[in-house]
Amino acid sequence: MNKSLLASNTVGWAGGRKPNASKPRLSGILLSAQTTLLVLLLSFNAYAEPRATGDLGLIIEREDGAALIVNTTEHKQLAKIAGLGDLSHASVVFSRDQRYAYVFGRDGGLSKIDLLLDKLEKRIVQAGNSIGGAISQDGKLVAVSNYQPGGVKVFAADTLALVADIPTDYAPGQRSKVVGLVDAPGQKFVFSLFDAGEIWTLDMQNPHQPALEKFKNIGKQPYDALISPDGRYYIAGLFGESGLALLDLWNTAAGVQRILPHFDKNDDKWPVYKMPHLEGWAMAGDWLFAPAIGKHEVWVINKRDWTLHKTIPVLGQPVFVMVRPDARQVWVNFALPNNNHLQLIDVKNLTVTNTLTPGKAALHMEFTPRGEQVWVALRDDNQVRVYDTATLREIARLPAQHPNGIFFSARAHKIGF
C-alpha cells in the first residue's frame, strides 16, 4: 500500500475535520480498494500453506487421461490435472527447479504441468505416436521420441516452442521408430532406432546447429535403453537378437560394444507378454541388473568387464528391475500372468529374499528419494500402495483410477530420468 496516500486520506480525521460527504474523493475509493486487497493478501498468507516442490510427484491415471499431484511425505493427493490425452503409455520428467512436470503421452501429446498452481500450463500434440522423452542437462530443452512419424523433436522448456526436428531416416523412404531416449552430460541426448538397429547421439550445445553422431549395426531391434547414473555408459537392450549394445560416451570413437551376444538362445525363450524396461535404477555398485527377455530371469552383469556374473531365477518375466536408492535391494515386477507379484533381490547375496502380492497389475514402482518407501501402482485395483522398504509393511493407500505410472520430482536431479 502507498503510505503517502494512506496518510493523506487520514489526516482530515486526525485534524478533526470530517470529509465532505457530498463530494466523494477518488483517493478514498482507491484507499478502500487497496485496504480490501491488503486484507485479502494477509488472509491468504495467514492460511495458505507453502508447498515444497521436492516433496511432490505425479501419478498417471491411464484411463482418465489425467495426472494426480501428490505429496510423498503426507501420502495424500493435492490435485488432479485432466485433459492430458492418451496416457496408455506415459512418462514424466521434471524441470530443474522441480516446479514443472512434462508429461509425454502416447498420442504425441506433450503437456507442461505447474505443480505449485495445480494447473495445466500448456499442451501441444507434436506427433502421431510418442514413446517418451527427456530434459536437457541445463533444463532448457525437452526432447520427445516418436514412433509416428519417427524421429526426435526438441522443444524449449519454458514455451514448448519447437527448437529442432530430427527425422530418423536410415534408408530411402524409411524412417525408424525411436526408443530409449535419455539425456546425457554435455547438453546431449542419446537414443536408439528400433527399425534401423542404430544408436544416435544428439548434441544440442548450439540449439541452432544440432550435431548428430550415428552408430550403425548395433544389433537387431533395440527396444529400450538406460544410461549409467554417472552419464558415461548408454546400454540398449536388443529384442531381435541376444545380448545388449553398449556405447561408452567418454570414448565414442571406439564404437558400440556388444554385451553377451551369444549367451541367450532363442529357443529357450517364452512368448513375450510385455516388453521389459531398462532404467537407470538398474545399476548397483559393480553390477548391472537386467531383465532377460522372454525368460524368468534377471541377469547380473559385471560392469568391470561386461561379462555375465550370474542369472537369478524369478517368478515370471521381469518388466522393471529397480535398484533401491541405497543399492541394497532390487525390486522386480512381472508381466502376465504374474503381474500381481513383486520380488526382492538382496544385492549383497544376489538371491531372491521376499515375494509380495500387493494386488492386481502391479505395473509400476517408484522409490522415495532416499529409498525408505516404495510406491506401487496397482492398475486393476484402482489404488497405489506405499510400503516401508525395510519392514515390507504397508503404510498407506491412495485411490487412483487405473494408475500406470508414478514419478517423483527428485528425478529432476538425476541423469537419465
Q: Where are the domains of the chain?
A: 3-45, 59-413
> Quick check: 143 and 160 in contact, CB under 8 A?
no
Could you tell me the fold of the domain covering 59-413? Methanol Dehydrogenase; Chain A (2.140.10)
Q: At what angle do helices 3-14 and 26-47 cross, to 10 degrees?
A: 120
What is the number of helices (H) and of strands (E) in the chain? 2, 34
Q: Is the pLDDT of residue 132 over 80?
A: yes
Residues 6 or more apart whose CB falls under 8 angstroms from that of 11 comprise: none
Helices (H), 144-279: none
Spatial separation of the C-alpha atoms in residues 119 and 126, rounded to whole Å? 20
C-alpha cell at 100: 514443472
pLDDT band for 292, please (50, 70, 90 cuts).
confident
- 149 preceded by a cis bond (ω within 30 of 0): yes
> Quick check: 197 and 221 in contact, CB under 8 A?
yes
pLDDT band for 413, please (50, 70, 90 cuts).
very high
**What is the reported pLDDT for 271?**
52
Spatial separation of the C-alpha atoms in residues 95 and 142, rounded to whole Å? 9
User: Average model confidence (pLDDT) for the chain?
Assistant: 88
Spatial separation of the C-alpha atoms in residues 68 and 247, rounded to whole Å? 36
Residue with cell string 474523493 = 25
For residue 267, the surrounding DSSP H or E stretch is none
State mean pLDDT over 259-264.
Answer: 76
> How far from chain centre, in Å, is Cα 401?
19
Per-residue HEC secondary structure of 6-26 comes to: HHHHHHHHHCCCCCCCCCCCH
Residue with cell string 498452481 = 117
Spatial separation of the C-alpha atoms in residues 256 and 259, rounded to whole Å? 10
**What is the reported pLDDT for 135?**
98
172-221: pLDDT as tens digits: 999 999 999 999 999 999 999 999 999 999 999 999 999 999 999 999 99
